[in-house]
Amino acid sequence: MNFALRLACAAALCAFSSGSSSGTPLAPRFEHFVLETLDAPGAARIVGTLRLGSSEQGAKRVLESDTRFAREARDESNVRVFEVEELFAGRAALTWREVSPGSGRTLSAEWNGQSNGLEVYECGAGAPVRERQISVEGALFPLYLQELVRTGRITSGSVPCFDPLGRTIERLTIKTAYEWDTERAGERARTVAIERTDGTLWGSYSFVGTRLVALQWQVGGARARAVDEAEFTRASAALEPTAPAAR
């Protein structure tokens, strides 16, 4: 099956299955997380925040993430990464923005139904890059892949996925481990591990039912823990840069 057809099917699946079985659009979903690392004594330290969103806007499904990383120097601005995926029945588009003091990077990737590949454009500190990525099998976008494993539509096997950081399509292997001692299946805990072909971790997701309670992007890296909006707001405020000391 060619690239355009596979990506069209993926976008259509998301667009048409995002609502309830009655055809009523699902309510918007927003989730909040704090990013934590363990200090030498084993105490957790908050080093960032993550906000995930999912909504239906007319004929499209919108998935978004906003990640903030604090710098070691507390008087420097945070690094922020924004991702938005817009999924239609016949088109899929991704926008990725990295914002940091003195630099930044913006990337867009789109399949518009008229092309036989993924149209990618990047601009930042260097010269702009425009290219077409071809994959016979197609490619998923990261947040949509996250939605597929959340709902259990993908639990194992391998899939191609577009990587905005490397600007490449990479093959990922998916494995799911369940905790079977939960009485009700809708509350059953499970962990989904997604790895690259070299065995490194692409993402590890912990769910209770379809609720995402934790995630991690690399072994030994920061771990995202689900919190309520109030705790998220407090953590975000605490991460704001402090004024440099007077000399």
Is residue 109 over pLDDT 90?
yes
149 in Cβ contact with 155 (< 8 Å): yes
d(CA 19, CA 114): 27
> For 27-76, what is each residue's pLDDT tens digit?
899 999 999 998 877 788 999 999 999 999 888 999 999 999 988 766 67
- Residue 183: CB atoms within 10 A of its CB come to 6
Q: And the tokens for 118?
A: 């993924």
2 in Cβ contact with 136 (< 8 Å): yes
Task: Specify the DSSP class assigned to residue 140.
Answer: B
d(CA 157, CA 141): 17
- Which sequence spans correspond to the domains of the chain? 3-238
- pTM of the predicted protein model: 0.85
Give CA 204 to chain center in angstroms.
11
Find the mean pLDDT for residues 10-29. Answer: 56
pLDDT the model gives residue 33: 98
